[in-house]
A and B are shown apart, each in its own frame.
Chain A
């Protein structure tokens, strides 16, 4: 990180890693955790969909799409905060 003094570079990478771990937790929740409970969630019906089925067929997918756009925005804000965004 040529343009940043070492402590700022460290802070930048800490924030970036923090966002990565947050995203990884979101990913893990919607990929696995919520589906562990599919048999019980299926007892809930929403416009005809058993909820466990719905989460695997649509709910998690929507969460993935939204999460990636949110991540792109957040990471960009971090880049700008530290002045390392591309010109």
Chain B
């Protein structure tokens, strides 16, 4: 077994090169079949089923009966590949499909998401990842339990973890349902459970090990699928296949067009309201959102637990660099999608007569993502036009054009005049993004329940076999509950995802950082700090969202971490100072996780995973 896994690790480069080559050959074959007249729906099926089948195959091949393989992939994942896996773990359907659309709608203000979802990795690298890796157990609550004296801190950690991760995983399954139903032509509810099956085969048999190697495969597909359409678009518009450099030209034309069309809030203008005037509240919300997303990134357990899988502390540090590099490839491309789509709309859609509109408008209008609402009865053709009063002059004015943010990435292949096979590729990419994130989140939740709650608190004598059975049962249970919630289409789902960051940031970040960086942090200090941060963030969210409480200082509730994080730091600090200092053994433990070399000296020997 050991020999087999070593040779597998040695040959990773070769294996994933073959895999990538195979995927390209598969795409080319489908492209040829399309030219030979194979219908689109079959191409859509081929993409969805074949990619999911590959993930399932990897899941089956990576099945394991060893606890450390199941929870931390045997700690053999090289920095580079862990970076790719983290990239897929991190980038969800919201990043893949939603990000470009958000930038299209919000312009400069949307860049808060681009910044917030990347800069947090600096915090992960310098404050947390190397130390958590040195600590070297299985989960984030494990650390809280070992550092802050046992089950109380562990329990609070588990509650925050589940609250933040569950909303997030529901949104991923929701995303899987949307993509699968659109490309397979089945009902949304059914698509949710089909997607669920795909998620479960990846993660159930092999835990972290299977999820790791599947996520690497999913990263390769999602990044290929994201880059190809916009590279093509860049060639079409500018003649150069580097969209990230060339969309500057598009921005210039957009700025001129905005003046002609009388748009006062320009695409690239920072912190202005609809009238084009400087706006302080806008700027404040931009920066508070960045801070909450960054600190949230550094607190989400499904990301932190990826750094438990590297072979060493050194590799954990490098791995954060690779993670951000692979994430960066997508995020620095997203604004070019938005710019090219806007250019297309301003140049080739708005101001044209209704007869001469490009074909993609009608195609995406059918599924309700786009609307040309000139005629009085436009809503009969375009569902999205409901409530828009067109002036029926036969010309499409800007105010009569409607587009859902999700359409930007999905429709770009068609706008660029690419064959349908590229649309299938994009669907496969979106699916890969949603599946990989769902896998990571489900595993984080199931591990917290099986390892931290069941094994640590309920039955510490459970043998290996029983622990793994419990893990798998809980994984299926959590997945089914999440799928059920997703199938009811809860309307606040997207908001809930954004909240997950503030919740995790308020509940976990101060305890983790102070636990490592300030020896004086006491058990009671950390626990009260976690409760205070989590409580205040949740209170602000719920009161402003559902009970009409006015905003504090005009800060939107998506950034509730702005109140929760400082509160948690302050409470932890003050309470720690008035409670007894941690014992000598605890100080030794902190010293031992601060240096890469040597053993970890747990203050409480019973906290050891292998006792």
Contacts and interface: CB of A to CB of B under 8 A. Distances in A.
Contact of A61 (B270, B278, B321, B332): B332
A49 B268 CA distance: 9
Interface string A31-69: 110010011001001111110111011101110110111
Contacts of A56: 108, 111, 114-115, 270
A39 B121 contact: no
Contact of A71 (B108, B126, B291, B328): B126
A84 B594 CA distance: 10
Interface residues of B, number: 54
A53 B270 contact: yes
Nearest to B311: A86
Contacts of A19: 126
A84 B597 contact: yes
B122 interface: yes
B312 interface: yes
Contacts of B111: 53, 56-57
B122 A27 contact: yes
B119 A27 contact: yes
A4 B430 CA distance: 50
A2 B595 CA distance: 9
Contact of B312 (A38, A84, A86): A86
Contact of A48 (B249, B290, B325, B328): B249
23 contacts: A2-B599, A2-B601, A20-B126, A24-B126, A32-B290, A38-B108, A38-B270, A52-B108, A53-B108, A56-B108, A58-B332, A61-B118, A61-B332, A62-B328, A64-B118, A64-B121, A65-B321, A65-B324, A67-B122, A72-B321, A85-B314, A86-B596, A87-B597
Interface of B: 108, 111, 114-115, 118-119, 121-123, 125-127, 130, 244-245, 247-252, 268-272, 278, 286-287, 290-291, 294, 312-314, 317-318, 320-321, 324-325, 328, 331-332, 335, 591-592, 594-599, 601
Given A3-B597, A60-B118, A72-B125, 14 more contacts: A1-B594, A16-B594, A23-B126, A31-B294, A38-B270, A39-B271, A53-B108, A53-B268, A57-B111, A57-B114, A58-B335, A75-B130, A79-B597, A84-B596
